[in-house]
Chains A and B, each alone.
Chain A
Amino acid sequence: MKAVILGATKGMGRALARRLAARGDELFLLGRDVDDLARSARDLEARAGRPPQSIGGAACDLEKPEGFTAALDAAEAALGGLDTVVVTAGLFATQERLEADPGLARRLLTVDFANTVVFCEEARNRLLARGGGTLCVFSSVAGERGRKPVVIYGAAKAGLSRYLEGLDHRFRARGLRTVCVKPGFVRTGMTEGLKSPPFAGEPDAVAASVVRAIDRGRPVVYAPGVWALIMLVIRLLPRFVMRKIGF
């Protein structure tokens, strides 16, 4: 596999990149901070027993869509074409913070929905041009239902999930496989300070199921798997119950 990962330096993206590197996939890393990308590239090389500088990286910021083309050009040049694009990057903030700061809410909606879609459009065009490939994007269980603690973040992720579903319907026949990852609560730097619910997952366990989903081309994957059941129940709850509960 020749994969480019946007957001490989932290959390689930880091764990996923390590699993892909360990099994021999060729990787190119995209992210905001080039020094941090270099540290992650050296980590992946050392873990996978590859020569230094064999994994490249380039700056790419979901707040700066004008840089998407150059970043993907760099990835394609370094890898000699690519067949897999993974997006784990995104912004997170609690509902309280987003309600108190409309500027932050606007930023989050732009990054997690609008600009992620723009990035994916650029990526899927390239994949389709070479006859297909995999587009794996991290959405969230927060987008499954309008819920009190994630009204704004959940709305952005709901939009993203719908977009990926649409891509799957429209382009699957032409060889584009979309994988929409819906993580439940996972213990990473992103969820620091939040109260950990039961069934909280670890990044490496999520990464393992995402690798399986990429290999099989599964359009939707809940990780950890138990969240598929939890969200099934949540989707079935009537509105008057959702108004009462805090989940």
Chain B
Amino acid sequence: MSDEGTLSGWGCAPVVPGREVHSEDLADVTTGMPLTRGLGRSYGDSSLPAARDRRVASATLADRILSFDPDSGLLRAEAGLSLSEIYRLFLPRGWFAPVTPGTQFVTLGGMVAADVHGGNHHVAGCFGAHVTRLRMRVADGRIVDCSREQEPDLFRATIGGMGLTGHILEVEFKMARVSSPWLWGETEQARSVGQFFDLLGRAAADWPFTKGWIDCVSRGKNLGRGIMYRARWATPGEAPARPPAHKKGFALPVYLPSWAFNRVTARVFNELYFRGHPTRGGRLIHPDAFFYPLDGVRHWNRAFGHAGFTQWQCVVPHASGLPTITRVLELVTSRGLASPICVIKDCGPQGEGLLSFPMLGISIAIDLPVRPWTRPLIDALNDLVLAEGGRIYLAKDAFTRREHFQKMEPRLGEWQAIRRRWDPEGRLRSAQSERLLGDAS
């Protein structure tokens, strides 16, 4: 069996030596492995092996649904089942995942490990809040079930634990009933960050799904202008009889040259995007268009070229939200070259996962190409977030410094203590845990 090859996350940076080992039998293939990887949609180094490891288990072939109760919506499945399969199979029957991130190409195991959140975080919390039971292979080789009643420490440490507490083999969670397979929503333009915050705050009371896109290039009077999206599931009366069609979309066949993403193209994209989304009243929206606009272009990550990109996502408390986000936008736009994709979202209270990312406040996510200025910019952004009591999202990160992360996470000590109890020899690790927690060193 050859151990050559390289692995990278969705951002194509960093690239490390290593390969995935696939098997339909996840319990078997995780034996002795340092980490399990899903569909590789985390942006940075979360799903990559540490420097001394060369292999990770892949969960993607372990994709069986083990039970579904159409009365309660309880679904139990192997951890490699993808959200896109759940969407395809269950939305026509009136069920949807209770929480969805911005891509459907993620596995259940990955959704638990990153404790993903979505546009309904202010009402539904993270995915972990809907998980009722996990089956895991822990470091000593045993297979252990955990839940809020059984091994609750392991359960809380695994939700948002980036796969570092054990291999997630099976996930049981509660699906959400939907009134129709279509969404009903509105779009509204905001002229400034202040107005944006105002719109987000007002929409939260009436709309289960809210999110915003911010122009991350414009400065001066246009700083922080953006588009606010709000939606709910359409009522049976509003929805057409036909279910939303599944479109295959097209694929970006090659990596664009890294220079293709520059000051001018970013400005043109942002201007077109802003003008293309005028304020509009209620209308039917395809779930793909609202939840997964980027999934329409497969391999869109190639648009940033071989140099790759990263996403920096933070959350800061409401109290300092407006000045902090304004400062973030100033820092980013001052470089002139930033992101076509910058998403803002208000978060509800922190979940029970010990390393879960969201907390009550405002979150902003910014895509950044990998350039010589990327690391210093992220250092400056992290200084800002740290000073305001905020934190960053590990599933996106590749550049945060260990000292920054450890200061941002007062919960880290408790999580590490539980992790050490289940894995005293430090067998489970990733390139990210090596970088941020000092594992394997």
Q: Which chain A residues have a beta carbon within 8 Å of chain B's beta carbons?
A: 9-11, 14, 39-40, 42-43, 46-47, 49, 52, 187-189, 192-193, 195
Contacts and interface: CB of A to CB of B under 8 A. Distances in A.
B61 A46 contact: no
25 contacts: A9-B24, A11-B24, A14-B24, A42-B66, A42-B67, A43-B64, A43-B65, A43-B66, A46-B67, A46-B68, A46-B75, A47-B89, A49-B93, A52-B67, A187-B22, A188-B22, A188-B61, A189-B22, A189-B23, A189-B24, A189-B61, A192-B21, A192-B22, A193-B1, A195-B2
Contacts of B271: none
Given A14-B24, A192-B21, A192-B23, A39 B64 contact: yes
Contacts of B198: none
B25 interface: yes
B386 to A, nearest CB: 43
A46 B25 CA distance: 19
A196 B22 CA distance: 13
Contact of B25 (A43, A49, A188, A189): A189
Nearest to A51: B70
Given A49-B93, A193-B2, A195-B2, A42 B23 contact: no
Q: Which of A42, A46, A52, A188 has the largest number of chain B CB atoms within 10 A?
A: A46
A188 to B, nearest CB: 7
A39 to B, nearest CB: 6
A245 B89 CA distance: 45
B78 to A, nearest CB: 8
Chain B residues touching A, majority SS: mixed
A189 to B, nearest CB: 5
Contacts of A9: 24
Nearest to B25: A189
Contact of B65 (A46, A192, A193): A46
Contacts of A195: 2
Q: Which of B21, B64, B65 has the largest number of chain A CB atoms within 10 A?
A: B64
Contacts of B22: 187-189, 192
B170 to A, nearest CB: 10
Contacts of B66: 39, 42-43, 46
B107 to A, nearest CB: 15
Nearest to B93: A49
Nearest to A33: B25
Closest 9 pairs between A and B when the two form their complex, measured CB to CB: A43-B64, A46-B65, A193-B1, A46-B68, A10-B24, A189-B24, A189-B23, A192-B22, A43-B65
Contacts of B24: 9-11, 14, 188-189
Nearest to A187: B22
Interface string B45-76: 00000000000000001001111100000010
Contacts of B64: 39-40, 42-43
B416 to A, nearest CB: 34
A9 B61 CA distance: 11
Interface of B: 1-2, 21-25, 61, 64-68, 75, 89, 93
A187 B25 CA distance: 15
A39 B2 CA distance: 31
A198 B42 CA distance: 27
Nearest to A94: B1
Given A40-B64, A42-B67, A187-B22, 11 more contacts: A9-B24, A10-B24, A39-B66, A42-B65, A46-B65, A47-B65, A47-B89, A188-B24, A189-B24, A192-B22, A192-B23
Nearest to B88: A47
Nearest to B66: A42
A127 to B, nearest CB: 29
Q: Which of A9, A47, A52, A195 has the largest number of chain B CB atoms within 10 A?
A: A47
B340 to A, nearest CB: 30
A47 B67 CA distance: 10
A141 B393 CA distance: 47
Nearest to B23: A189
A42 B21 CA distance: 26
B27 to A, nearest CB: 11
B361 to A, nearest CB: 38
A40 B22 CA distance: 18
Contacts of A42: 64-67
A189 B66 CA distance: 20
A75 to B, nearest CB: 21
B188 to A, nearest CB: 39
A31 to B, nearest CB: 12
Given A49-B93, A188-B61, A193 B21 contact: yes
B76 to A, nearest CB: 9
B280 to A, nearest CB: 36
A32 to B, nearest CB: 12
A93 to B, nearest CB: 13
A245 B165 CA distance: 48
Nearest to B5: A195
Contacts of B67: 42, 46, 52
Contacts of A14: 24
Contacts of A188: 22, 24, 61
A11 B62 CA distance: 10
Contacts of B75: 46
Nearest to A22: B89
Nearest to A52: B67
Nearest to A188: B61
A29 to B, nearest CB: 12
A42 B64 CA distance: 8
Nearest to A39: B64
A42 B25 CA distance: 16
Contacts of A47: 65, 89
Contacts of B2: 193, 195
Contacts of B93: 49
Contacts of A46: 65-68, 75
A14 B65 CA distance: 12
